[in-house]
Amino acid sequence: MSLRKHVRILLLALALPMWLSFFASAFAAPTPKPYAQRDDVRQFIDEMAEKHGFVKKELRMLFAKARFQPNIIKAITPPTEPRAKSWQAYRALFLTPQRIEAGAAFREQHREVLARAVELYGVPEEIIIAIIGVETVYGRNTGGYRVIDALTTLAFDYRPRAAFFRGELEHFLLYARDAGIDTLALKGSYAGAIGIPQFMPGSYRRYAVDHDGDGRQDLSGSFADAIGSVANFLKAHGWEAGQPVAFPVEVQGDNYRKLVDAGIKPTYRCGDFAGFGAVVGVSVGAGAGADADAPCALIDLPTPGEATRYLAGLNNFYVLTRYNRSNLYAAAVMELAQAVKSVYSNK
């Protein structure tokens, strides 16, 4: 190869990183303007000052320190081609031996606090334990994003649910002011959920309780407050003390689809299911069948390539979906609760 060709190849190699950098910057998603300089954020600040008496200068300083988080947008955006839901895959995330054993240990550690929550709110201890187990592995994983960054990013740069997250940002600022906490220090999930039970700020302000009696509601540092607040949330959403959550169902024919299509809110009588080709069985651990007059919904838990599992979801199943609006979530909480209870009951 001639010297001229060697020089030409060397120059091209040296220039390649520069051209790659140019094209990457040219086609990368634009970074939003600093939040404190944006008109929509300034309008929000004006509203907070008018509605709640916030000092505009202080909020401008706060939003000058808030940072856009592209990973949050990526995490919350549904995939272009959604994958089929799989109950077995979802269940496997939470019904692990480690999480079950850790739930039994959590119960032993917080036995008295749980007993008091059961007495006050009527929610079984195993359900409270399971929710905390599913949400944060009993407080071990409460999230690493600054809440102000998460909520600001979603409120102003995630258009599909901007109104919801602006409402949550409003609640967060009110909560932080009332509680006297450092708004920039608190961390949570990519969606802005806070603490051991992962309450959104609106739920924090409505349902958090001081269950340890220290004069404040602290869902990040107090397991007692987290336990009491989960129970209070469920009771406030209609939990019926002493009542079952769901019963297994066997289906035949096609008429049962009318029950599935009716949605997850209990609107049919359990006694009417048989007329649709859906036979209600005996609840796990309950030893009895459903009351024929109890309101029920037919819940499907599909797994691609396998037979779909069906449940008769009663009112308490529906209440679990108020915590997280997913049939799979409610079913996982129910099964984890049963598994944890089985471990500590047999010790």
Q: What angle do CA 101, 102, 106 make, to 5 degrees?
A: 120
Residue 181 phi, psi dihedral angles, 5° rounding = -100, 160
**Which neighbouring-strand residues pair with 248?**
311
Could you tell me if 178 and 35 lie in one domain?
A: yes
Tell me which of 125, 126, 135, 335 is the catalytic residue.
135
Could you tell me if 152 and 40 lie in one domain?
A: yes
Last residue of a domain, which of 123, 158, 193?
193
Tell me how far apart the alpha carbons of residues 214 and 186 are, in angstroms, rounded to a whole number. Answer: 20
Q: What is the number of structural domains in the chain?
A: 2
Dihedral angle computed from the Cα positions of residues 163, 164, 168 and 174, in that order, rounded to the nearest 10 degrees: 50
Q: Which domain holds residue 307?
A: 246-313
pLDDT of residue 81: 73
Averaged pLDDT in 10-residue chunks for the chain of 347 residues: 49 48 43 89 98 98 97 92 87 98 98 98 98 98 98 97 98 97 97 98 98 96 98 98 95 96 96 94 61 95 95 97 97 98 91
pLDDT of residue 80: 81
Could you tell me if 184 and 292 lie in one domain?
A: no
Could you tell me if 279 and 172 lie in one domain?
A: no
Could you tell me if 166 and 263 lie in one domain?
A: no
User: Is position 126 annotated as part of the catalytic site?
Assistant: no
Asked whether residue 35 is domain-assigned, the answer is: yes
pLDDT of residue 347: 75
Could you tell me if 151 and 281 lie in one domain?
A: no
Of 85, 80, 29, 40, which is closest to residue 63 (Cα–Cα)? 40
Asked whether residue 105 is domain-assigned, the answer is: no
Q: For residue 306, count CB atoms less than 10 angstroms from its CB and return exposed for 0-12, middle for 13-18, buried for 19 or more.
A: exposed
Tell me how far apart the alpha carbons of residues 341 and 347 are, in angstroms, rounded to a whole number. Answer: 10
pLDDT of residue 283: 61
pLDDT of residue 99: 98
Could you tell me if 185 and 276 lie in one domain?
A: no
Q: Which residue has the tokens 């390649």?
A: 16
**What is the CATH number for 158?**
1.10.8.350
